[in-house]
Structure 1
Amino acid sequence: MPTITLRLELHKPTQVKQEMYQRMTELNTEFANWLLHHPELNKATSKIFKDFSSQKFPSAIVNQTIREVKSQKKNQKAKTFRKLWCCFNNQNLKVEKKGDFYTVAFPTLEKIIGVPVVARPYQQAWLNRIINGTAKQGAAKLYKKKKKWYLAIPITFEVEQRKETKVMGVDLGLRYIAVASVGTKSLFFKGNQVAFIRRCFAARRRKLGKLKKLSAIKKSKDKESRWMKDQNHKISRQIVDFALTNGVGIIRMEDLTDIRNRAKSKKEAGRNLHSWAFYQLQKMIKYKAEMVGIRFELVKPDYTSQTCKCGYRDRANRNGIHFKCKKCGYTIHADLNGAINIAKAISGLVA
């Protein structure tokens, strides 16, 4: 089942509540770090919190933290937690609609309280699905970002798989951010405009760096990151819409694992291959495809840019954006050829 995460801003929490959320976060982090080194972690239940502290703390949060610490320690992902936000499972967090407002109730240091959230129209649709039972909520996280408090609620839902068997390949690159191919139709997203805008961001930061304006540099990086995310949202939406229009049942993309080590592209205007948020773009394409019943598959990246439709493979076949087979003379846009080969999964699917 597809999963998305709703990020809901708490609507103007009082200073008292914000201080309480902060205390909860600090106490939960300290408890998690204490648990990491506890000899009986695997047998731990909510009662173990009494050995850590005499303070009152919701057992619902304690149980979720125990699960998280067990998981992190098992996978050796954490030696210490810098910050571990409080989490609530679907039995301890309730979404309701009261009048025109949506509220979310969860345990705190004092009691279970219902707090209003800022819900945008598309978020309201998902909240309604939680309320009417057509979507299931996962473990929610209470966190703070830029002086605002949020609840992140994962949601899973049933989607009927599309019966179409058409496969669309999507190739990612620098000169063209993305190229999609299905049958004889294709969709291109040029990278020159985004490269220009990123050069402007980089040039501005160089000037700010000479002036030692570190705060302004950070703001510029955050602004560029938001702009990149917005571009990826737009590109992924157009790609999935293109797939729907052309009766696609499967979208295939290259596995981006280890792209930094295997990327050999020349720098273009100081921006290398992995400087664009390709993982983010791929993730957006995946979840938007799955939301409409289109399967998403990863293929091995080997030789997708070097192989001709006749089967001949040679690195010399590709020259920049131009592809010309040294054996049969076939010519095509190199990125489009890559997208076609990705659709065919010429090197096989990732297991």
Structure 2
Amino acid sequence: MQITVKVKLQPTKEQSKLLMETTKHYIYLVNQIVSDYAVADRNLKYSSKDVIADLPSAVKNQAIRDAKSVFAKYKKAVWANARLKPDEQREVKLPVLKKPVAIWNNQNYSLKEDVLSFPVFVEGKSKRMEMKAILTGYQKNLLNNKPGSLRITQKSGKYIAQIAVQVAENTAADSQIMGVDLGLKVPAVAVLESGKTKFFGNGRQNKFIKRKHRSVRRKLGKLKKLKAIKKLHDKEQRWMTDQDHKISRQIVRFAQENNVTTIRLEQLSGIRQTARTSRKNEKNLHTWSFYRLAQFIEYKAKLAGIHAEYVNPKHTSQKCPVCGGLNKATGRKYRCGCGYKTHRDRLGAINIISATVADGNSLPA
């Protein structure tokens, strides 16, 4: 299974300038080749000698491969559009890369002792540039696996190296599936096929912090202190993201401890319309990112060699796992006429284990 390890880079001012030039030349070259393919309506047999760009030959070749991939997706979209009825067809525009990025294959870079080395174009020649990389012990352990391509991009003014690696999947003999239900009062509940259950996060603390920030923002709004409002909003977002990181780590650790090979979550499309909440929690519902927490769980599960998938959420909060009857919970308790009873969020996680796997990827909430 392939995963991506994101590594922070610390370039000098000169190195930052070279990286900016390299990434801009890279996307310009990819866009130019795609445009050439579109004019010819086919892939042209380009090599690094056929294209002009201030890039090392190896990077030029990677740009040609990327252009082929972009053009193939474009042709597929054109073909799919042509099969639609005339009144359903739409214009298919040729893709244009805008975000600066550059890619090196695994034979053209190295990462040793927190130093990333890769070729760039300097004064008409290809030279290797050594740049400091910030690595955690966990990342170093992952990078001991077989490395793939290196992708360098810029985010919020900082350069990030994205390195693809191959990791082994969990194949324990006593493995099992785990269902995870996300919510507000209880951020997450995980249930194993054996019935073992664990609750994660503090919903009351989350709501208190959000109410506190909302109250302060309201006061700042009356004083028209826009910069202070933005600063406070960013602080709240950092806190929420940190909470999601902590919860997702705990969930995946719980899965590892119990030999889980598959984590199942509800498909997130429409969760704001179907989530179980009261009117007083409505503001929290529409500002909490269920999608981000699910993404963190999925990403960390992959790092641990655990598969993550999404299921159809229909009736997961109402269906009795014993008799199949549908009942609405009262407060935090779920009771069925057959005598079965449990916590309402635990019920959701139990039903997620056996729910039908949803088609396609879940959409952001």
- With normalisation by structure 2, the TM-score equals 0.78
Cα shift at 1:31: 3.1
CA distance in 1, matches of 2:158, 2:347: 46
In the alignment, which residue of structure 1 is the partner of 2:357? 349
Stretches of structure 1 lacking an aligned partner (at least 5 in a row):
130-134
Q: 1:167 and 2:183 equivalent? A: no
Relative to structure 1, the CA distance from residue 116 to residue 243 in structure 2 (aligned partners, 3 Å threshold; closer, same or farther) is closer
| Counterpart for residue 17 of structure 2 | 19
Matches within 5 A, 1:1-351: 1-10=1-10, 13-38=11-36, 39-40=39-40, 42-43=43-44, 45-47=46-48, 50=51, 55-73=53-71, 74=73, 79-97=95-113, 102-110=114-122, 111-127=127-143, 129=144, 135-182=145-192, 183-189=194-200, 190-259=202-271, 265-266=277-278, 268-273=280-285, 275-314=287-326, 316-325=327-336, 327-343=337-353, 345=354, 347-350=355-358
Deviations 1:255-299 (A, max 9, x none): 224545655755544535464332332233334334444443432
Could you tell me which runs of 5 or more consecutive residues in structure 2 were left unpaired when the two chains were aligned: 78-92, 360-365
1:294 and 1:153 mapped to 2: Cα distance? 19
Closer, same or farther: CA 124–266 of 1 in aligned 2, 3 Å? same
CA distance change for structure 1 residues 279 and 156 in 2, over 3 Å: closer, same or farther? farther
- Partners of 1:68 and 1:206 lie apart in 2 by 48
Change (3 A) 1:19 1:216: farther
Partner Cα separation in structure 2 for residue 165 and residue 55 of structure 1? 51
1:199 & 1:46 partners in 2: Cα distance? 59
SS in 2 for 1:317: coil
Once the two structures are superposed, what CA deviation does each residue of 1:139-186 show, in whole Å capped at 9, x if it has no partner? 222223344333222222224412214332111112211011223432
Instruction: Measure, in 1, the Cα distance between the counterparts of 2:208 and 2:276.
Output: 21
**Deviation at 1:230?**
1.9
* Offset of residue 334 of structure 1: 0.9
| Aligned positions, number | 332
Distance in 2 (CA, whole Å) between partners of 1:293 and 1:200 is 39
CA distance in 2, matches of 1:78, 1:195: 45
Do 1:49 and 1:62's aligned partners in 2 also have CA atoms closer than 8 Å? no
**Is the Cα–Cα contact under 8 Å of residues 93 and 105 in structure 1 kept in the other structure?**
yes
In 2, Cα distance between equivalents of 1:220 and 1:157: 39
Q: Matched residues in 1 for 2:181 and 2:28: separation? A: 45
Aligned AA (2:244): N
| Aligned equivalents of 2:242, 2:343: Cα separation in 1 | 27
Q: Please state how far the C-alpha of 1:339 moved relative to its aligned partner.
A: 0.9
Name the CA distance, whole Å, in 2 between partners of 1:204 and 1:191. 20
Change over 3 Å in CA distance of 1:149–1:180 after alignment to 2: same
- Output the CA distance in 2 between the equivalents of 1:162 and 1:230: 31
Question: Match for residue 132 of structure 1?
Answer: none
Residue 318 of structure 2: SS of its match in structure 1? Answer: coil
Give me the whole-angstrom Cα distance separating, in 2, the residues matched to 1:72 and 1:274.
Answer: 36
What is the aligned-residue RMSD (CA, Å)?
3.1
Contact residue 172 and residue 178 of structure 1 kept, 8 A:
yes
TM-score, length-scaled by structure 1: 0.80
Following the alignment from structure 1 to structure 2, what is the Cα–Cα distance between the partners of residues 142 and 187?
39
Tell me what 2:363 maps to: none
**SS at 1:109's partner residue?**
strand
Secondary structure at the aligned position of 1:80 is classed as coil
